[in-house]
Amino acid sequence: MDILKDLTVGIGKRIKVIRKQKALTQETLGLITGIDSADISKYESGKINLTLKTISKFAIALGVHPKELYDFDLDIAEYKIEE
């Protein structure tokens, strides 16, 4: 199991859910964040790793605390530290 991938997918799904709750298109979110709408799609589907800077941009643009983007189930006991 890859925790980085699972976190990336989980946060991406949260971005999409919140974006839709706010009735924003990917294009509009892209204009607000300065991120290309094609990349917004990739972030939402977990195809691009998120940096803290990018997470901050999404949180500000969506008007939510960054912790809201981490609000999904993840069983941490399933993962091991890789060397």
Give the tens place of pLDDT for each residue, 60-81: 999 999 999 999 998 888 888 8
pTM, whole model, 2 decimals?
0.90
Rounded Cα gap, residues 61 and 30, in angstroms:
9
Q: Which amino acid is at 37?
A: S
Name the nearest CA neighbour of 40 among 23, 58, 56, 53: 58
Extract the tokens encoding 76.
Answer: 């941490």
CATH number corresponding to 3-78: 1.10.260.40
| pLDDT band per the 50, 70, 90 thresholds, residue 50 | very high
DSSP letters of 29-47?
A: HHHHHT--HHHHHHHHTT-
Domain positions in the chain are 3-78
